[in-house]
A and B are shown apart, each in its own frame.
Chain A
């Protein structure tokens, strides 16, 4: 690993990259990073982005598994709606879906009599829940398609063997079918998680305070154009690094037979 880096050509590149970073730091305006107000905002923003990513991936995958199963092996009255759902989600921009949910559906709620007094009103008014809902649906749509392929890709002999042993259908699903499908899908899932992370800044457009919204706030307050954007890029790069490392570790934990 280290040997690959210590080639003269790569050393020159690293040197230039460090030089650029130092230039950015010396000639850029970074004083806003020292203001406690912004430090607090940045911490909140990063926390919101990361928790949004984790929550929506979990909820989305929980929906994607039945969606994939319905498309791979379900009867037509389950398979067709699942296909339609995945097509709808994958065929329209996420930004538009979020707008439709928050402004469109959200604007219909106040018309329902008595809803303002109900228990759910604080939830129905909060952009955060719309963001969680919208992003989870998006994960469900894309990952439902991925899971369809994964369920179909499990070798038929495995399922037949389980059936021949008299395994009940539910046990077969939990012990044989799902684990093997998830194993197959793990490399894809890493990439999909990065894609999902890259989709999270869109929630700023419906007033959720994620790290992107924070950088916009800083830019508006201080009239600095580039530096907050560079900080953003750095934050997202680090999150990507963490995701890639996590999935690398996960993949290594599961032994694979290589020919």
Chain B
């Protein structure tokens, strides 16, 4: 009967904000998750824009190398990529520091998480943005070229704003993926939400309560971001004719 008590109201006290409650630990975990997700998403978008332009307008070498990058990253499980990149990145940084005569350092978990997930996200963003750029009516880009617009200005004023409405649904999916992928950093022991939950659950033995609570936190995050992205899509589509008008 003892474990039936796990469901009871008594374990809800464990979610209290102040210790001995674990609420603050969970929220700190959530904050770390959001931080990494935002950083990785931003890094991924940067890689994505560069990658999409490289795939569309780059030299044959660039195109082939980018194809290898996107194919490999999308074919291997994120969990394994995280492990490989995490060890490789920490190793490489340490080797470099030691070469300059420094001692071994512990890489900051947030930075490593952002770097690793950013590289993974970059592969997916590249594909999403490439598709979106292709969806921009060719006449718009040709017209801008005919007016003698330089490439940088063309990208900033014509291609990127116009492709946004096509890219946002895919980018929204990627954002939801990256928020959930932060949970994978639990395997390298980083204190994001899932890892914090695991700690709290195994300390207090109230497994069900804590995992359910973390689930609610993730859900709130994803519902809020779905709402924000639908607002963003409406904004990006302003001035476009709606179908059926």
Partner-B contacts on A (CB < 8 A): 9-10, 13, 87-88, 90-97, 99-100, 103-108, 110-112, 194, 197-202, 205, 212, 225-226, 229-230, 232-233, 236-237, 240-241
Contacts and interface: CB of A to CB of B under 8 A. Distances in A.
30 contacts: A13-B68, A87-B223, A94-B180, A96-B214, A99-B197, A99-B207, A100-B215, A103-B201, A104-B201, A104-B208, A104-B212, A105-B208, A107-B205, A108-B4, A108-B208, A198-B76, A198-B79, A200-B77, A201-B79, A202-B79, A212-B77, A225-B87, A229-B80, A229-B84, A229-B87, A233-B80, A233-B84, A237-B72, A237-B75, A241-B75
Interface of B: 1-4, 6-7, 60-61, 64-65, 68, 72, 74-80, 83-84, 87-88, 176, 180-184, 186-187, 194, 197-198, 201, 205, 207-208, 210-212, 214-215, 218-219, 222-223
B208 A107 contact: yes
A247 B194 CA distance: 34
Interface of chain B: mostly helix, strand, loop or mixed: helix
A96 B219 contact: no
A237 B88 CA distance: 20
Contacts of B194: 93, 95-96, 99
Given A201-B79, A233-B80, A9 B186 contact: no
Contact of A104 (B88, B183, B211): B211
Given A90-B176, A91-B223, A225-B87, A103 B211 contact: yes
Given A13-B64, A93-B194, A108-B7, A233 B183 contact: no
Given A96-B197, A198-B77, A107 B207 contact: yes
A205 B186 CA distance: 10
B223 A205 contact: no
A108 B6 contact: yes
Nearest to B214: A96
Given A105-B208, A111-B1, A197 B77 contact: yes
B202 to A, nearest CB: 8
A10 B208 contact: no
A232 B83 CA distance: 11
A74 to B, nearest CB: 22
Contact of B76 (A93, A111, A205, A237): A237
A91 B75 contact: no
Contacts of A111: 1-4, 6
Q: Closest 10 CB pairs between A and B?
A: A93-B183, A104-B208, A100-B211, A91-B222, A111-B4, A198-B77, A111-B3, A93-B180, A240-B75, A103-B207
A180 to B, nearest CB: 23
Of listed A194, A199, A205, residue having the most chain B CB within 10 A: A205
B84 A226 contact: yes
Contacts of B186: 95
A99 to B, nearest CB: 5
Of listed A103, A104, A198, residue having the most chain B CB within 10 A: A104
Contacts of A93: 180-184, 194, 218
Nearest to B201: A103
A162 B7 CA distance: 51
Contacts of A94: 180
Given A108-B208, A236-B77, A237-B76, A92 B215 contact: yes
A200 B78 CA distance: 11
B6 A107 contact: yes
B77 A104 contact: no
Nearest to B68: A13
A100 B76 contact: no
Contacts of B222: 90-92
Nearest to A103: B207
